[in-house]
């Protein structure tokens, strides 16, 4: 698929909203030039901007036929259902896209390329199925190798899943590149991979090798960068995904953290009903993340990234002020107001390191 200009139809049937279409929104926000349509029959006729506040005039259409008329040649499965299986009704859509000769980009836990029917359809119509969650073949074991890099390694951590860890890393990356810094982004989830065209979906890796795979990606990224921004996954306090978060942290060996949180969210999202655990005070989450990082390498939280999308402008600015007062740290909503607060501190660290190196 590399080198080919993709014209993507984003599949988000029945779920093209800010809350449900995390992957679709990420692709729309960071690869807008490749998206020709979003498929969601329940919202057909509207625009992307209208549904998720991003993507401008990208049209929402009812199905493949309408997307084809707009020139789509790739179907991207823009959902991340828990458990990761393919909703029954979507299977037919994938098959139909392959019959039209479209390529498939999938972030599902279930690998579409391993499905005999879909694979043979792809072969017959000369198109490809890329399962971005397929783990790398290598099985590396981490050994704190990323702890001694010259580059400043930064990890985004969260108060819960789906609070803006990838977005924060990407916005910092853009801000730093805008300032001329040599910055690199390490994608660790399906959406990040769609955006960066590389990376590994760490939650799909065999548990023993998660930290090792992250370590390798950070070492690779540090070759050409002064700042490596690692996309966090899960949350230390989340009952289902805490282990992934800790593996990632200890594989990446960051020297600094950015804590991401969604304003107004009070409880964590669990797999099903039952009492969802309360999100703790930010000061407690900061302390716990710093403590866990220190088991391998000391890493302070440099600042907070607060997703204020559910608030109006006045509320949002007040919230950021409150968070800064409560924690004594800079806070930002990078999507809304930019990522200066933390970017400046990262630039300072790079400069300091260069000064120290030239003095030696």
Residues near its own copies (CB under 8 A) are 82-85, 109, 139, 141-145, 202-208, 210-212, 236-248, 250-251, 253, 270-272, 274, 277, 288, 291-292, 295-296
Quick one: 245 or 347, whose CB is closer to its own copies?
Answer: 245
Q: What is the DSSP letter of 295?
A: T
Quick one: 143 or 326, whose CB is closer to its own copies?
Answer: 143
Q: Is 217 helix (H, G, I), strand (E, B) or coil?
A: helix
Quick one: 271 or 357, whose CB is closer to its own copies?
Answer: 271
Q: How many residues does the chain have?
A: 360
CB of 45 to its own copies, least distance (A): 35
CB of 348 to its own copies, least distance (A): 28
Q: Is 174 helix (H, G, I), strand (E, B) or coil?
A: helix
Whole-angstrom Cα distance, residue 40 to residue 61?
Answer: 6
Quick one: 132 or 320, whose CB is closer to its own copies?
Answer: 132
Quick one: 41 or 85, whose CB is closer to its own copies?
Answer: 85
Whole-angstrom Cα distance, residue 197 to residue 207?
Answer: 23
CB of 338 to its own copies, least distance (A): 32
CB of 212 to its own copies, least distance (A): 7
Handedness of CA 97, 102, 107, 113 (dihedral sign): positive
CB of 243 to its own copies, least distance (A): 3
Quick one: 84 or 300, whose CB is closer to its own copies?
Answer: 84
Could you count the other beta carbons within 10 Å of the beta carbon of residue 146?
28
φ, ψ of residue 52 to 5 degrees: the values are -130, 5
Orientation of helix 282-294 relative to helix 313-327, angle to 10°: 50
The dihedral region occupied by 126, where left means phi > 0, alpha psi between -120 and 50, and beta the remainder, is: left
Whole-angstrom Cα distance, residue 196 to residue 153?
Answer: 18
């Amino acid at each position: 698929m590399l080198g080919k200009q993709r014209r993507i139809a984003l599949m988000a049937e029945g779920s093209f909203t800010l809350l449900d279409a995390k992957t679709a929104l990420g692709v729309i926000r960071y690869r807008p030039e490749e998206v020709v349509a979003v498929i969601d029959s329940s919202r057909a006729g509207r625009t992307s901007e209208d549904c998720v506040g991003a993507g401008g005039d990208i049209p929402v259409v009812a199905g493949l036929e309408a997307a084809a008329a707009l020139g789509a040649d790739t179907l991207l499965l823009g959902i991340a259902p828990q458990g990761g299986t393919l909703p029954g009704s979507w299977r037919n859509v994938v098959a139909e896209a392959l019959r039209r000769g479209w390529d498939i980009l999938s972030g599902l836990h279930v690998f579409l390329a391993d499905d005999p029917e879909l694979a043979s359809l792809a072969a017959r119509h000369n198109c490809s199925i890329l399962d971005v969650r397929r783990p790398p073949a290598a099985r590396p074991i981490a050994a704190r190798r990323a702890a001694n890099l010259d580059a400043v390694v930064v990890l985004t951590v969260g108060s819960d899943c789906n609070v803006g860890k990838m977005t924060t890393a990407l916005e910092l990356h853009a801000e730093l590149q805008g300032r001329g810094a040599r910055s690199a982004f390490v994608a660790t989830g399906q959406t990040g991979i769609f955006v960066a065209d590389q990376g590994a979906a760490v939650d799909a890796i065999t548990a023993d090798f998660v930290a090792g795979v992250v370590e390798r990606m950070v070492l690779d990224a540090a070759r050409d960068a002064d700042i490596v921004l690692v996309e966090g996954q899960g949350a230390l306090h989340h009952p289902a995904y805490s282990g992934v978060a800790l593996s990632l942290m200890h594989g990446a060996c960051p020297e600094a953290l950015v804590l991401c949180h969604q304003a107004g969210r009070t409880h964590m999202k669990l797999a099903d009903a039952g009492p969802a655990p309360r999100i703790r005070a930010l000061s407690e989450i900061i302390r716990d993340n710093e403590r866990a990082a220190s088991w391998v390498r000391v890493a302070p939280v440099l600042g907070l990234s607060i997703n204020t999308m559910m608030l109006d402008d006045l509320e949002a600015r007040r919230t950021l002020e409150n968070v800064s007062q409560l924690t004594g740290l800079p806070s930002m909503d990078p999507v809304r107001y930019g990522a200066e607060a933390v970017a400046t501190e990262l630039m300072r660290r790079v400069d300091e390191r260069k000064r120290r190196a030239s003095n030696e």
